[in-house]
Amino acid sequence: MGYYINPPNETKEEWLNDNGMEVTDPSWDALPNFRPTEFQDDDGVYVCLVDNGPFTAAGICYNEAEFNEFRAPDPTPEELAASKERADAMGMYTVQLDTGDQRSRKWYVVPRKDIIDVCPDVEDRLEAGL
């Protein structure tokens, strides 16, 4: 479980539109290039807004591994079935809530200070790059 944006006085979408810059086709190597004038000397942090159906989640990509997790496609129905089959073969009980459908994602770059303001618990991860 990662770190997520949950602003107290507005929706995630409103907060991201107010504080971030939407980007298409993000790559980890390109992140240092996103420094609009309003960021001043602040580094940008990727945030992935995922549509989970009944709710959205705004995941903070505090390092490259977390970024790659959000960039990875959701498992297909076939992959989910194979995973269940492997678990069943080992005598494990499984509950799968995923449908195999690809969830839509929007990407934002947000100034580091704004990320820390809305989610202070992620600061140590951002500092360490863990």
Which tens digit of pLDDT belongs to each residue from 9-37? 999 999 999 999 999 889 888 776 665 55
Average pLDDT over residues 58-67: 93
pLDDT tens digits, residue range 87-114? 888 888 776 655 556 778 999 999 999 9
pLDDT of residue 11: 96
pTM of the entire predicted model: 0.77
Tokens 């079935």 found at = 81
Q: How far is 78 from 98, CA to CA, in rounded Å?
A: 12
Tokens 């200070």 found at = 113
pLDDT of residue 36: 54
Q: How far is 107 from 82, CA to CA, in rounded Å?
A: 30
Computed over every residue of the chain, the mean pLDDT equals 83
Q: Where are the domains of the chain?
A: 12-74+103-128
| 82 Cβ contact partners less than 8 Å away, ≥ 6 residues apart | none
Q: Alpha carbon 120 to chain centroid distance?
A: 16
